Structure 1
Amino acid sequence: MMRKIFLGMAVLSFLFSSCEDYLEEENLSNVTGEEFYVTETGFESLISANYSQLREIYGGDALMFVAGTDLFAEGRDPAFIGLSRYTELNPQSEGVEHLYNTGYRAIQVANMALHYAEITEQTSQLDTRIGEIKYLRANAYFLLVQTYGGVGLVTDYISNPVLEFERDSAEAVYNFIISELEESLNLVEEGAYNGRVNKRTVRHLLAKVYLTRGYEDFGDQSDFTTAANYADEAIAGQELTIPFEELWWPGNEENEEVIFSVQYDDSSVSPDLDNRGHNQANYYSSYLGGPEVAEDAPYRTSILSPTQFAIDLFTEDDARWYATFMYEVFGRYYDYYDVEDHDALVVEHYYEPAWATSAAEKAAYIANHPEATYHEYGTYAPFFNPSSDFSTIPVRKFDDPTSPFGAGTSTRDIILSRLAETYLIAAEAYLQAGDAATGLMRLNEVRERAGVEPAVLADFDIDFILDERARELLGEYHRWFDLKRTGTLVERAAAYHYLIEEGNFVGNGGELKILRPIPQSAIDLNQNQDFPQNPAYE
């Protein structure tokens, strides 16, 4: 039986204030929430509040999604050391509470909407909206169970504090997620993605959930086959036809390959320049200069910069290198997007790729661009000189040239699911299901769009898939989950993150720090003294 859970006063405060804030513009009279939410307008406002929770989950720090992996290491800013290096990872570490808090807030807003769905005005869209809510609740639980393991299942709308709670098993949480998504699949609509959850959105997530469960000790080999089937249903025969550069061009976030995203627009975000959108673009680069260059360069934190391993993954014929990295930085950074004729622009920084390292090529480039600082290949990963501006190569695929210079926010949509990842999920699922030949075909669809040679069966294993996911999805909030899912987190982080050794993962009693710790704040609020912390942190 599902249990209520006390999530802390922050969540209860959220229920009675934040939700109302979302609805403030619509609820202009003095009617109570009970009266408002049972109307069509009020209930639709609750649906909007559910989608808005995605901004809380994904719009802040990127650390829990990509830090402490093979692809990113901190540059000049040693923030979030626990998440990035594991040695100082504990229940009070900076950032470990983010997904716990935002995940449960999203769950409670979903529970609130499902509560009112039973008593609100009946409309032709009501069942569809219930399906959307169930997807969003399942997505929050999927983030929680991957990150923290078994967590408390909450299915009731909480109006009063519950001061004791227990942890459900990870197996129970996965079963609930799958049940929710299968219900959602029966309720939501087919058709092109328009910002709302549709059947393709659900199939993609079902594929990923089954794929992830297949690796668990309570999973089953059939989970991989089911994952492959759901992925193929989501692909539905659609080919990858959009050039990678165009796929990530600012303003093209609603292209036909997007399956689900966190949506933003200028009319729905804060007018405060420092809080008007999200922070995805901020992390993947060295610092690009202080206030004195605010009109020329966007804000970057240097908290996450591509490792040498990430840089080494690309070859000259891979279109993803050119669209992922800003390997030439002009005097005004955003002129790359705003000025059509690049030949007339002055290059200030050049990051030499692996295939252009001959003395003759270097001399020719310097002669043609005498103003440029020339960063030789192998010198612009965080290991070498992380304390200097422009010391690591910027990742540009999330750039927002409409963001005010110097401000750390973007109003581009955050892409959570897209068709190329569906192909890669299918590739991995088929491999693990014992059908490597079909899996290879799915993976080579992704490589074909990138312009690289097809992979061969002799090379096709989980490491090749992880490398391909790195090239295709670099920075897209998947990497920690990819390594955790496939059991390669310790091996790959220790091999390719210059500040991590395998010993960094060893916690209390020799347990490995694979799961993140339950936040101490959540444990302190629980009056059930038998509530267990994850073993490595006990």
Structure 2
Amino acid sequence: MKTSIHKYLVIGILTVAAMTACNKQLDEFNPGGTTTDAVFSTPEGFESLVNAAYTYNRWWYGKEEGYSISEMGTDIWTSGTGDKYPDITNYNNLQASNSVMSVLWKQLYAAINLCNTGIGRIDKAGLTADRQKIRNAELHFLRAFYYWHIVETWGPVHFTLTETSGVITTANRTPADTFYAQIFRDLDVAVNDLPVTTSDYGRVTKPAAEAFLARMCLTRGKNQQAADLADKVIKNYGYTLLAKYADLWRMDNLQNKEVIWAVNYMKNLVFDDRADATLFPNGHSRGANNGHLMFAMKYDDLPGMQRDILNQRPFNRYMPTLFLLNLFDETADARYEASFKQVWYCNNLKTAPAGVKLGDTAVLCSKKVISTMLPYRVYDRNAVYSTNGGGKDRTHYVSLQKFDDPTRASINEEQSARDVFIIRLAEMYLVAAEAQFNLGNGAKAADYINVLRKRAAIPGHEAAMQVTAADISIDFLLDERARELAGEQLRWFDLKRTGKLATRIALHNPDANQYFQSYHMLRPIPQDQIDAVSNKGEFKQNDKYN
């Protein structure tokens, strides 16, 4: 779905500074004096509003800002040399001045305001009854989706269901329970009124709404509802696990039967919004998916190597913890080889070591200790990780390759047309398993997990991958989620939901553990938001942040 912001979009944001900037952009894009009242009262204009409401997903999914909040600061990732935001990713003096906090706060609340605007105006949009029902359901879903990001990130902050008109200088503090009550009401509308399928890839559907509702039920301890919804999505809509885990990540296979909902980035990068002055001022966030940049180690200055399209442009932001790598039994679990790059093959004979030819191994990174002398560069466990598991060499390491894009047009292209999977079928098996475990049904939980592990098994090793009820615990389920979903922008939320964030950081991420405090369960409200409100006695910063 082409969800680029159209010239008619008006976004309302809580802060005075953001509202001023928005008005300047509106003047620039509205030379004819067209008003929102006029535009949103037409079917075409209202369609542009709904399309725009989807676009705010692109601030989070497949973006550095979203990765830094949703994957980093957990048990499975630590900082590479290129990490721009160690205050977020390792909690190192995280404060309200952090620019990522400000950017995402503004964009998420802009998205909320757009959903509120559409829901409040849809009756006068001139849509057919069927189209109105669907678009209204989409907006309710998106409002629930964005409010989940807000309340989990910042806690009991500003909440509204009405369109912002003019400059608003006050903000409220609303309990998290109120957010979730509305999330469930909105998702009820979405589940009831969305179509089962869509020909417009990227739009939300009934099964996508049920899948997200299952995630929300699990988050709020509604385990039976979570189990029932996840099982319904698994059985009733024709989704299926791909035969091979590796096939999920092929650029020629992105729209596959395992994907329930995705951000649809366009092959024509012009439509991926980098040049849009409203969404991406000055090219901020690099437009399309940039996951391929974030997890690649620095290889292009090593003997026998030069930068090329196949090996990606290495921003060297994030590296796996040793704990994450050790979660895999790579002799039985195909997800390790499918997820991680361990070998770089010589593509530069001019700098190659003696005896190494084009196409030979030039660099090997390994979670094991390599004691044998080899004719190429080796970065083994002892070279990359300290004895406590913390990062030692943050430039050379086993690299996540799930998001690589070998179809990019040039070696320095920052944008990728790769879609970002927001919800895929495997998550429903994991949701059902966790819900059943919470209900005391360990055998049922194991049954769901075994479906995923059978798919993941290297042929001939299926028996080694199977588990029983005795193996199932919350920690095992979190380990399995890491093996299946590493990098897919759920980890921080998973650890928070299960009450394991502090424990797992302490056990498995010594880099973050030296800074993590209990108050980091919530992020700081952006300082420009705190400065902008007039009711500072009511709307205060989250505890412990300056």
What TM-score bracket applies, with the shorter chain setting the length? 0.7 to 0.9
Whole-angstrom CA distance in 1 between matches of 2:52 and 2:336: 37
Match of 1:443 in 2: 449
The answer to whether the 8 Å contact 2:83/2:318 transfers is no
Match of 1:45 in 2: 48
Whole-angstrom CA distance in 1 between matches of 2:154 and 2:114: 21
Match of 1:536 in 2: 544
Using the TM superposition, give the Cα deviation of residue 449 of structure 1 relative to its aligned residue in structure 2, in angstroms.
Answer: 0.6
Further displaced range: 84-93 or 265-274? 265-274
Match of 1:283 in 2: 294
Whole-angstrom CA distance in 2 between matches of 1:18 and 1:201: 34
Percent sequence identity is: 29
Which letter maps to 1:318? D
The answer to whether the 8 Å contact 1:381/1:393 transfers is no
1:535 aligned counterpart, secondary structure: coil
1:482 aligned counterpart, secondary structure: helix
User: Structure 1 residues 28, 164: CA separation in 2 closer, same or farther (over 3 Å shift)?
Assistant: closer
Whole-angstrom CA distance in 1 between matches of 2:188 and 2:25: 30
The answer to whether the 8 Å contact 1:75/1:387 transfers is yes
Whole-angstrom CA distance in 1 between matches of 2:167 and 2:400: 44
Which letter maps to 2:377? T
Using the TM superposition, give the Cα deviation of residue 110 of structure 1 relative to its aligned residue in structure 2, in angstroms.
Answer: 1.3
The answer to whether the 8 Å contact 2:367/2:398 transfers is no
Out of 322, 336, 357, the position equivalent to 1:308 is 322
2:519 aligned counterpart, secondary structure: coil
Which letter maps to 1:227? A
Which letter maps to 2:380? E
1:61-94, CA deviations, whole angstroms, 9 ceiling, x for partnerless residues? Answer: 2200111111111121353222122241222235
Whole-angstrom CA distance in 1 between matches of 2:448 and 2:27: 45
Count matched residues.
496
Which letter maps to 1:236? K
Which letter maps to 1:146? E
Out of 498, 522, 529, the position equivalent to 1:515 is 522
User: Structure 1 residues 28, 525: CA separation in 2 closer, same or farther (over 3 Å shift)?
Assistant: closer
Whole-angstrom CA distance in 2 between matches of 1:427 and 1:53: 31
1:205-263, CA deviations, whole angstroms, 9 ceiling, x for partnerless residues? Answer: 1111111112xxxxxxxx11111111111212554233111111123221111011111
The 5 Å alignment of 1:411-490 reads 411-451=417-457, 453-490=465-502
The answer to whether the 8 Å contact 2:13/2:113 transfers is no
1:349 aligned counterpart, secondary structure: strand
Whole-angstrom CA distance in 2 between matches of 1:409 and 1:332: 23
Using the TM superposition, give the Cα deviation of residue 408 of structure 1 relative to its aligned residue in structure 2, in angstroms.
Answer: 2.5
Using the TM superposition, give the Cα deviation of residue 190 of structure 1 relative to its aligned residue in structure 2, in angstroms.
Answer: 0.6
Using the TM superposition, give the Cα deviation of residue 386 of structure 1 relative to its aligned residue in structure 2, in angstroms.
Answer: 2.6
User: Structure 1 residues 381, 420: CA separation in 2 closer, same or farther (over 3 Å shift)?
Assistant: farther
User: Structure 1 residues 12, 187: CA separation in 2 closer, same or farther (over 3 Å shift)?
Assistant: farther
2:421 aligned counterpart, secondary structure: strand
Work out whether 1:63 is the aligned partner of 2:68.
yes
Using the TM superposition, give the Cα deviation of residue 6 of structure 1 relative to its aligned residue in structure 2, in angstroms.
Answer: 6.3
User: Structure 1 residues 381, 298: CA separation in 2 closer, same or farther (over 3 Å shift)?
Assistant: farther
The answer to whether the 8 Å contact 1:15/1:109 transfers is no
Match of 2:3 in 1: none
User: Structure 1 residues 177, 18: CA separation in 2 closer, same or farther (over 3 Å shift)?
Assistant: farther
Whole-angstrom CA distance in 1 between matches of 2:17 and 2:32: 27
Which letter maps to 2:214? A
Match of 2:121 in 1: 116
1:428-452, CA deviations, whole angstroms, 9 ceiling, x for partnerless residues? Answer: 1111122222122111111111015
Whole-angstrom CA distance in 2 between matches of 1:309 and 1:108: 41
Work out whether 1:326 is the aligned partner of 2:341.
yes
Uncovered stretches (5+) of structure 2, i.e. residues with no partner: 1-11, 276-282, 349-356
The 5 Å alignment of 1:278-427 reads 278-289=289-300, 293-295=306-308, 297-315=311-329, 316-332=331-347, 345-352=359-366, 354=368, 366=374, 370=375, 372-381=376-385, 383=390, 385-388=392-395, 391-403=396-408, 404-427=410-433
Whole-angstrom CA distance in 2 between matches of 1:18 and 1:116: 23
Whole-angstrom CA distance in 1 between matches of 2:530 and 2:119: 27
Match of 1:177 in 2: 183
Whole-angstrom CA distance in 2 between matches of 1:437 and 1:498: 34
Match of 2:279 in 1: none
Using the TM superposition, give the Cα deviation of residue 330 of structure 1 relative to its aligned residue in structure 2, in angstroms.
Answer: 2.4
Match of 1:208 in 2: 215
Which letter maps to 1:285? A
The answer to whether the 8 Å contact 1:277/1:410 transfers is yes
2:251 aligned counterpart, secondary structure: coil
Using the TM superposition, give the Cα deviation of residue 304 of structure 1 relative to its aligned residue in structure 2, in angstroms.
Answer: 1.1
Using the TM superposition, give the Cα deviation of residue 170 of structure 1 relative to its aligned residue in structure 2, in angstroms.
Answer: 0.4
Give RMSD over aligned pairs: 2.8
Whole-angstrom CA distance in 2 between matches of 1:57 and 1:10: 22
Uncovered stretches (5+) of structure 1, i.e. residues with no partner: 215-222, 334-342
The answer to whether the 8 Å contact 2:347/2:358 transfers is no
Which letter maps to 1:234? V
The answer to whether the 8 Å contact 1:69/1:489 transfers is yes
1:512 aligned counterpart, secondary structure: helix
Whole-angstrom CA distance in 1 between matches of 2:423 and 2:27: 29
Give me the TM-score of the superposition, normalised by structure 1: 0.85
Give me the TM-score of the superposition, normalised by structure 2: 0.84
User: Structure 1 residues 384, 186: CA separation in 2 closer, same or farther (over 3 Å shift)?
Assistant: closer
Which letter maps to 1:36? V
User: Structure 1 residues 229, 294: CA separation in 2 closer, same or farther (over 3 Å shift)?
Assistant: same
